[in-house]
């Protein structure tokens, strides 16, 4: 497997616990004990996925995530003992792909790591697809390079934001329910989780829409869900 996982966690017991189970599953583990060290290791090692504690010395996980998202769409899974809804929303809004609350099952953590790496491989395959880019007014979605541009300026999206946007844009005019989007993009049953999709839609709109009160790309279909606008 040989995927590299960066574990940014200041608690040595939790770090060793995570390392044990991920090594047993065949992953190469890179460790960091602070936010500052985590950023240095990220740029040095170019990991395939980041497990990121929220409460860290020097720089907290939120700031580390923001820094990583300036240059990379590498999957990020937050790990924290803070279970409040707002913490999850903040984490997802700034670009995290997932959120695991302590204490967590090692099997669950390994399953989520596998899932996000599988999706990352999917993105790599999509980049080789014949359809390389889509242009809509001032929006460009570059499927080959996995980039989104507004007026030729790159917009940094998380991997989940990009997949959500790309999936909807490839089906312009089609109405999707929130549950359907979750199951297509997250590749698992929604189990009534509508909040996650709504948070990502809100984040996408803030990044690509000029007027949030009158969006031109991602449109709400009242009582049903969302659709991507058709070209005029």
Do residue 168 and residue 94 come from a single domain?
no
Domain co-membership, 114 together with 142:
no
CB atoms within 10 A of CB 103: 8
Which structural domain range is residue 102 located in? 4-125
Domains in the chain: how many in total? 2
Q: Cβ(50)–Cβ(75) under 8 Å?
A: yes
- What local confidence, expressed as pLDDT, does residue 130 receive? 46
Using the 3D structure, point to which of 67, 96, 125 is the last residue of a domain.
125
Q: How many CB atoms lie within 10 A of CB 57?
A: 11
Q: What is the CATH number of the domain that holds 85?
A: 3.40.50.2300
Ranges 30-34, 58-62, 96-100, most confident: 30-34
Q: State pLDDT tens for residues 115-152.
A: 888 776 655 544 444 467 888 889 999 887 788 999 99
Q: Of 125, 160, 181, which residue sits at a domain end? A: 125
Task: Indicate which CATH number applies to the domain containing 216.
Answer: 1.10.10.10
Q: Pick from 84, 108, 125: which residue ends a domain?
A: 125
């Amino acid at each position: 497997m040989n995927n590299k996982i960066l574990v940014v966690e200041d608690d040595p017991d939790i770090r060793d616990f995570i390392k044990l189970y991920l090594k047993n599953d065949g992953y190469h583990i890179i460790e960091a004990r602070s936010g500052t060290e985590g950023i240095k290791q990220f740029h040095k090692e170019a990991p395939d996925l980041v497990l990121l504690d929220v409460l860290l010395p020097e720089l907290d996980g939120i700031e580390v995530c923001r820094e990583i998202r300036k240059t990379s769409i590498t999957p990020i899974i937050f790990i924290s003992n803070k279970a409040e809804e707002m913490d999850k929303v903040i984490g997802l809004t700034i670009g995290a792909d997932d959120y695991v609350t302590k204490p967590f099952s090692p099997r669950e953590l390994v399953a989520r790591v596998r899932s996000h790496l599988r999706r990352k491989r999917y993105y790599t395959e999509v980049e080789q697809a014949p359809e390389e880019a889509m242009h809509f007014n001032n929006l460009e979605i570059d499927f080959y390079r996995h980039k989104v541009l507004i007026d030729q300026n790159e917009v940094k999206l998380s991997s989940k934001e990009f997949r959500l946007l790309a999936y909807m844009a490839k089906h312009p005019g089609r109405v999707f329910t929130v549950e359907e989007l979750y199951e297509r993009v997250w590749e698992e049953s929604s189990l009534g989780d509508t909040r996650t999709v709504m948070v990502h839609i809100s984040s996408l709109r803030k990044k690509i829409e000029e007027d949030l009160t009158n969006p031109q790309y991602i449109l709400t279909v009242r009582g049903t869900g969302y659709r991507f606008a058709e070209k005029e």
